[in-house]
Amino acid sequence: MIIETTRKGLLKTLKQKQDTGPKLGFVPTMGALHKGHFSLIKAATTDCDLVVVSIFINPTQFDNPADLEKYPNNVKKDIDALQHQFNNLIVFTPSPNEIYDGRLEAKHYDFEGLDRKMEGAFRDGHFDGVGTILEKLFTLIKPQKAYFGEKDYQQLQIVKKLVRILDLPIEIVGCPINREETGLARSSRNKRLNTQEKEKALLLYKSLLQAKQEFGTKNAADIIEEVEAAFKKEVDFKLDYFSIADAETLEPVKTIDNNRKYRAFVAAFLGDVRLIDNIALN
Ligand code: AMP
């Protein structure tokens, strides 16, 4: 495994390794790695000859300074875990200054409204920050394929739009949500939950399962109302949104078209930890 911390170093290593023209895969992460991340890296190493994993907590995608400050950060532990499980990775762990040259600013993108729904409505400027860091990393690394989790389903749709807007020849691969045995979606932020809170956090997954069961028999507004009521009963939770939407446009469903795919999406604070999850409904 090769670890690079500078753009120059990374480019040099890529140039050496790519002399024989291997297929290059890329998995961007913010570290605090868990089995969800490893499932993406596994998919990438299965598909590609060479894989770059970036570990970078991107400041411009955080609208809330406290969330950024408390974001779990242990690069040494992440590197040990990668070393145990994978060979032949290039791990890129730059500093914010290395990436942003002292100007911590996000570019503005026109994601045609995809960025204004759900996460975008609750996290001001979040997707501009995501677009900015990914444009920088995509144009630096120039992978043929990049891997993203359906855990951040809205982000996955936005990344697909980003490569179309920038006209980059990168195939965006979506990977299924990796869950704990209980059903809780794995997340770096789960590290901030104790055992009891992790049990409480299951309300997100349970609400998604309920929506899946009721979808098609009850109308979406009634399902959403039931879920909102369930969250209201729990004093430790603050629900940001529960949405039932078209899987491609992310538009809230009005009438069900059997030719379209739909998903349910949830975001809620448990104490001061913000959790998100989603599920395919049909
Ligand atoms: P993050 O480090 O949270 O920015 O996540 C990096 C990548 O891992 C993103 O593409 C996420 O969607 C993906 N990811 C995070 N958690 C999971 C999970 N539980 N299952 C699948 N992919 C995940």
Q: Which residues contact 107 (CB under 8 A, 6 or more apart)?
A: 128, 131, 132, 135
* 237 within ligand 1 shell (Cβ under 6 A): no
Token code pair at residue 142: 């120039």
* Residue closest to 57 by CA, chosen among 99, 85, 114: 99
Provide the CB-side half-sphere exposure for 205 (13 A, CA): 16
Tens digit of each residue's pLDDT (9 = 90 or more) over 156-186 = 999 999 999 999 999 999 999 999 999 999 9
Are 54 and 143 within 8 A, CB to CB?
no
Pocket test for ligand 1, best of 34, 41, 78, 152 (most atoms within 8 A of CB): 152
- Work out the pLDDT band at 57, boundaries 50, 70, 90: very high
- Work out the pLDDT band at 88, boundaries 50, 70, 90: confident
What is the residue with the minimal CA distance to atom 13 of ligand 1?
149
How far apart CA 116 and CA 124 sit, in angstroms, is 9
DSSP class of 252: B
pLDDT at 131: 98
Token pair 């965006």 is found at: 172
Gap from CA of 48 to ligand 1 centroid (Å): 19
Gap from CA of 153 to ligand 1 centroid (Å): 10
Nearest ligand 1 atom to the CA of 31 is: 2
* 148 within ligand 1 shell (Cβ under 6 A): yes
* 185 within ligand 1 shell (Cβ under 6 A): yes
pLDDT at 122: 96
Gap from CA of 113 to ligand 1 centroid (Å): 23
What is the residue with the minimal CA distance to atom 11 of ligand 1?
149
Mean pLDDT of the chain: 96
Q: What burial class does residue 164 get, using C-beta atoms within 10 Å of its C-beta: 0-12 exposed, 13-18 middle, 19+ buried?
A: exposed
Instruction: Please compute the mean of the pLDDT values over residues 141-163 and round it to a whole number.
Output: 98
Does the pLDDT of residue 145 top 80, yes or no?
A: yes
What is the residue with the minimal CA distance to atom 14 of ligand 1?
149
- Work out the pLDDT band at 18, boundaries 50, 70, 90: confident
pLDDT at 19: 67
Could you give the residue numbers annotated as active site?
37
Cα torsion 163, 167, 170, 172 to 10°: value is 30
Gap from CA of 237 to ligand 1 centroid (Å): 23
Does the pLDDT of residue 20 top 80, yes or no?
A: no
